[in-house]
Structure 1
Amino acid sequence: MTLLSPEHVAAAKSNLDAFFGVAGKVFEGAEKLVALNLQVVRATLAEAQENISKVSDTTEPQQWFVLQAGFTGPLAEKSLSYSRQVFDIATTTQAEVAQLAQANYARYNDRVQAFVEDAAKRAPAGSEAAIVAWKSAIAATTTLYETLQKTGQQAVQVAESNFDALTASAAKAARSNSAQAPVTTGAKG
């Protein structure tokens, strides 16, 4: 039976720490999302109760239609605000997880390079080509990882700018629609 070396134990601890770090960030994001959803449900219920009491106080159909039209503008703005907050939680969580992944990848890459260097020192004569191939593969993997990470960051930035533009356009349309809602003068015809 073989016992694990201190290096193996340290590597296992590092891997567990990395796992729990990423899991912690994911759960933090989930907690924020749950808190946001609870807040939205609470506010929606309060507004629904208020709107029902307003509608029950109306006596004329025209007043009911005016009230109903008045509900849509704030609803659209609140939906946009909610979408923005969900997007912010998602992008923040993604960035934190990516940062942890990058740090863990860097540590892992350093360990692999140290292993290859150690293997190169102990390798028999004539194995230089294999060592060069290993180093080349590690360099290619590192380049691929960095390229994928940069591409992912650019995709998040593009998505965020597109979301900002869409949100601004939708908010403008919602404000425009609320401004055009019919207004009653209180006169009966």
Structure 2
Amino acid sequence: MSTLTPQQLIAAQQASLSTFFGFANQAYAGFEQLVALNVQAGKVNLAETQAIMTKAATAKDPSELFALVSSLQQPASEKLAAYGRHVHEIVSGAQAEFSSAATAQFQQVQKDAQGFIESLAKNAPAGSEGAVAAWNSAFSAANATYESATKAAKQFVATVSAGA
């Protein structure tokens, strides 16, 4: 029977840490993009507010003030929509990166598990064919479940994205 060596355990732990920090770095990159977007939006908003307040202070009568307020409504909604699109792009990009990395990680785990089962089958003592077949069957069922879940999740994301 095959057993894990300390070197294999250390390698598995290092791979897990590498994966964890890869995901953490991706999360921070997305967060950094959102912060940069908000800083930029804040600067633009401050400059525009200053310009508006200057115009409002120089208004000679209430009709000029009402005209100024009316002229600001359409650009404000357009800016809000553009901001929402930028946030959606950042979040969608981060989600795609996470999904890609998770898929790659799962495929590696799947490959390693298949190798383990094959090694188990080769090194199994006589009479344990039923147990090895059960392991193989369970592994195949888990893979089929993962594939179905992945397909359903991708369809859900596509549906939600199409509606947005």
What is the TM-score when the length of structure 1 is the normalising length?
0.80
Aligned to 2:33: 32
SS in 1 for 2:38: helix
The reply to whether residue 91 of structure 1 matches residue 92 of structure 2 is: yes
Aligned to 1:116: 117
Q: Contact 1:58–1:64 (CA<8 Å) still a contact in 2? A: yes
Q: Report how far residue 155 of structure 1 moved.
A: 2.0
Letter in 1 for 2:24: A
Q: Percent identity?
A: 36
Q: Report how far residue 159 of structure 1 moved.
A: 2.0
Partner Cα separation in structure 2 for residue 81 and residue 154 of structure 1: 26
Partner Cα separation in structure 2 for residue 126 and residue 81 of structure 1: 67
Partner Cα separation in structure 1 for residue 80 and residue 73 of structure 2: 10
Q: Contact 1:91–1:156 (CA<8 Å) still a contact in 2? A: no
What is the TM-score when the length of structure 2 is the normalising length?
0.91
Letter in 1 for 2:115: A
Partner Cα separation in structure 2 for residue 43 and residue 88 of structure 1: 20
Letter in 2 for 1:110: K
SS in 2 for 1:97: helix
Letter in 2 for 1:71: L
Name the stretch that deviates more: 54-63 or 92-101.
54-63
SS in 2 for 1:59: coil
SS in 2 for 1:124: coil
Name the stretch that deviates more: 83-92 or 60-69.
60-69
Unaligned runs of 5+ in 1: 164-189
Runs of 4+ residues over 3 Å off in structure 1:
none
Q: Report how far residue 146 of structure 1 moved.
A: 1.9
Q: Report how far residue 32 of structure 1 moved.
A: 0.3
Partner Cα separation in structure 2 for residue 68 and residue 109 of structure 1: 61
Aligned to 2:60: 59
Q: Contact 1:55–1:67 (CA<8 Å) still a contact in 2? A: yes
Aligned to 1:136: 137
Partner Cα separation in structure 1 for residue 41 and residue 142 of structure 2: 44
Aligned to 2:128: 127
Letter in 2 for 1:14: A
Aligned to 1:155: 156
Partner Cα separation in structure 2 for residue 44 and residue 17 of structure 1: 40
Aligned to 1:182: none
SS in 2 for 1:141: helix
Unaligned runs of 5+ in 2: none
Q: Report how far residue 31 of structure 1 moved.
A: 0.4
Q: Deviations over 1:80-131 (max 9, x none)?
A: 0000110111110011011111111111111111111111222223322221
Q: Report how far residue 67 of structure 1 moved.
A: 0.8
Aligned to 2:83: 82
Partner Cα separation in structure 2 for residue 22 and residue 29 of structure 1: 11
Partner Cα separation in structure 2 for residue 155 and residue 45 of structure 1: 39
Name the stretch that deviates more: 12-21 or 120-129.
120-129
SS in 2 for 1:52: helix
